[in-house]
């Protein structure tokens, strides 16, 4: 009887061992595709963290077939070289600002004009809707993952601005078309990337910067300014891209491409929410530092709006001369912004 029991126990152990063996031997699939992702934001910035989360989601949903190595802080190429770095294959994926590659995006640059964006969610949604609608030729050499855009830009400065005239003669940091906005407001524009702006403010190279309020926390620029002025009619954004090298994209099987497209669609909303959350964090940061936050009075904002009007009209005329749909682009954005502003007001009420 004892002999039979030993045999039964031995058989049960063998069955249990065999049933466990497949799970124990199940190895993680080896990556079939390994991509590099160059992000201009520093690793501590929310946008860099969300970019890393995108990479992790790609690996997760492709069951490890695609691994994306993320390099924040412009390790693989500079802010301005990010796009061309992707085009020529020095990196597979890149995230930076369209405005940093001056002259490359004659149609997309209209997104950065002072339209009065109410928030980052709207700016991000509108940027993607615009690109989807117009299919700009300037993106033909890459595969666009998605675009995102920060909330309404403010003026952060060491010389408080309470009136329209207070801006005149100041040296203000601005890039791309925002530099033109600086000139329209009567100030002197100085082109600088976000990475160079902290030291420029600290050393007095510039007296102020046009930026989303989140920048004052995300890039710590709130430490080297004294005041923040909200100018509703300015309300510009800086549109940003996430693009992939054409050949890198073409190498991916169709099922993986579809998975990435689905992730991209989700990340549009995530980036919009992120920018709004970071704007709230940025405002809390500067308030904690005791910086003055100024709301430009309506009568002063009307002066700014009038001063900025030629910029919008001039852009449309210039685009038409280049053979671009300038008037259609402006009309599209006016409609989109109007709807976004209406929705924002309804949300507040």
User: Tens of pLDDT along 91-127?
Assistant: 999 999 999 888 999 999 999 999 999 999 999 999 9
Same-domain check for residues 250 and 141: yes
Which of 279, 298, 333 is the last residue before a domain boundary?
A: 279
Q: Which residue, 102, 123, 96, 94, is CA-closest to 111?
A: 123
The pLDDT score that the predictor gives to residue 348 is 83
Measured at the alpha carbon of residue 326, what is the angle toward residues 321 and 329, in degrees to the nearest 5?
A: 170
pLDDT tens digits, one per residue of 19-38:
444 444 445 567 899 999 99
- Across the range 246-265, mean pLDDT stands at 98
Q: What is the mean pLDDT of residues 237-257?
A: 97
Question: Kind and range of the H or E element at 263?
Answer: helix 254-288
Say whether pLDDT at 2 is over 50: no
Total domain count for the chain? 2
Whether the predicted pLDDT of 179 surpasses 70: yes
Q: Which tokens is 197 given?
A: 């702006």
SS3 category, 30 = coil
Domain boundary residue, one of 279, 297, 331: 279
- Residue 30: the pLDDT is 79
pLDDT at 337 over 90: yes
Asked whether residue 179 falls in the same domain as residue 42, the answer is no
Domain annotation covers residue 325: yes
- Say whether both 91 and 184 belong to one domain: no
What is the structure's pLDDT at 27? 56
What is the per-residue pLDDT for 24?
40
- Last residue of a domain, which of 229, 252, 279? 279
Q: Is residue 9 part of a domain?
A: no
Tell me what pLDDT residue 21 has: 41
What's the pLDDT score for residue 10?
A: 44
Same domain, 67 and 212: no
Say if residue 133 is in the same domain as residue 159: no
Q: Is residue 19 part of a domain?
A: no
27 in a structural domain: no
CA–CA distance, 256 with 65 (Å, rounded to integer): 9
Find residue 245's DSSP bridge partners. Answer: 142
Q: Is residue 228 part of a domain?
A: yes
Q: What is the mean pLDDT of residues 4-11?
A: 46
Strands 153-157 and 171-173: unpaired
Mean pLDDT of 203-231: 95
What's the rounded mean pLDDT across residues 179-188? 94
Round the average pLDDT of the chain to a whole number and report it. 91
User: Is 18 part of a structural domain of the chain?
Assistant: no
Residues 232 and 243 in one domain: no
Residues 41 and 47: their CA atoms lie apart, in Å, by: 7
Residues 6+ away with beta carbon under 8 Å from 116 = 152, 232, 233, 234, 235, 337, 341
More confident residue, 143 or 29: 143
Cα–Cα dist 109/103, whole Å: 9
Strands 142-149 and 239-245: antiparallel
pLDDT at site 194: 83
Domain match, 274 and 298 both: no
C-alpha distances in Å from residue 104, one per residue of 80, 83, 84 = 11, 9, 10
pLDDT (mean) for 296-319: 95
Q: What is the pLDDT of residue 9?
A: 45
Same domain assignment for residues 179 and 317: yes
Average pLDDT over residues 260-288: 97
What pLDDT is attached to residue 349? 76
Residue 7 domain-assigned? no
Domain that holds residue 203: 153-237+289-348
- Average pLDDT of the residues in 4-29: 46
The pair phi, psi for residue 180, each rounded to 5°, is -70, -35
How far lies 209's CA from each of 124, 148, 197, 205, 323, in Å?
A: 22, 21, 8, 11, 33
Q: Is 299 found in the same domain as 333? A: yes
* pLDDT confidence of residue 17: 43
Q: Does 255 reside within a domain?
A: yes
Are residues 267 and 204 located together in one domain of the fold?
Answer: no
At residue 154 the predicted structure's pLDDT band, cuts being 50, 70 and 90, is very high
CATH code of residue 311: 3.40.190.170
Say whether both 75 and 140 belong to one domain. yes
Does residue 281 carry a pLDDT above 50? yes
Q: Is 290 left (phi over 0), alpha (psi -120 to 50) or beta?
A: left
Question: Beta partners for 229?
Answer: 155, 294
- Position 29 scores a pLDDT of 65
The 3-state DSSP composition of the chain as helix, strand, coil percent (nearest 5) reads 55, 15, 30
pLDDT tier at 130, thresholds 50, 70, 90: very high
Distance from C-alpha of 59 to C-alpha of 69, rounded to nearest angstrom:
10
Residues 123 and 258 in one domain: yes
């Amino acid at each position: 009887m004892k002999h039979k029991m030993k045999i039964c126990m031995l058989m049960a152990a063998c069955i249990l061992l065999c049933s466990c063996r497949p799970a124990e031997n199940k190895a993680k699939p080896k990556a079939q595709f390994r991509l590099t992702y160059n992000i201009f934001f520093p690793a501590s910035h929310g946008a860099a963290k969300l970019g890393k989360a995108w990479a992790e989601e790609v690996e997760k949903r492709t069951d490890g077939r695609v691994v994306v190595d993320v390099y924040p802080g412009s390790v693989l190429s500079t802010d301005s070289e990010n796009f061309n770095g992707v085009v020529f294959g020095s990196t597979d994926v890149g995230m930076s600002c369209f405005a940093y590659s001056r002259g490359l995006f004659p149609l997309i640059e209209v997104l950065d004009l002072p339209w009065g964006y109410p928030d980052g969610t709207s700016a991000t949604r509108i940027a993607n809707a615009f690109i989807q609608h117009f299919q700009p030729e300037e993106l033909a050499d890459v595969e666009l993952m998605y675009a995102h855009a920060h909330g309404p830009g403010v003026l952060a400065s060491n010389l408080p601005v309470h009136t329209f005239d207070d801006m005149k003669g100041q040296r203000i940091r601005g890039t791309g078309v925002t530099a033109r906005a600086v000139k329209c407001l009567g100030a002197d524009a100085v082109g600088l990337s976000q990475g160079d702006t902290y030291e420029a403010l600290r050393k007095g190279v510039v007296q102020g910067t046009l930026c989303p309020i989140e920048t004052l926390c995300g890039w710590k620029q709130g430490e080297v300014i004294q005041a923040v002025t909200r100018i509703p009619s300015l309300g510009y954004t800086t549109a940003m891209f996430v693009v992939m090298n054409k050949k890198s994209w073409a190498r991916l099987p169709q099922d993986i491409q579809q998975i990435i497209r689905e992730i991209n669609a989700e990340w549009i909303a995530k980036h919009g929410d992120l920018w709004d959350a970071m704007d709230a964090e940025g405002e809390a940061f500067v308030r904690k530092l005791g910086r003055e936050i100024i709301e430009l009075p309506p009568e002063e904002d009307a002066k700014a709006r009038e001063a900025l009007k030629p910029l919008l009209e001039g852009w449309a005329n210039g685009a038409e001369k280049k053979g671009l749909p300038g008037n259609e682009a402006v009309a599209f954005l006016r409609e989109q912004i109007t709807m976004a502003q209406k929705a924002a007001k309804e949300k507040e009420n």
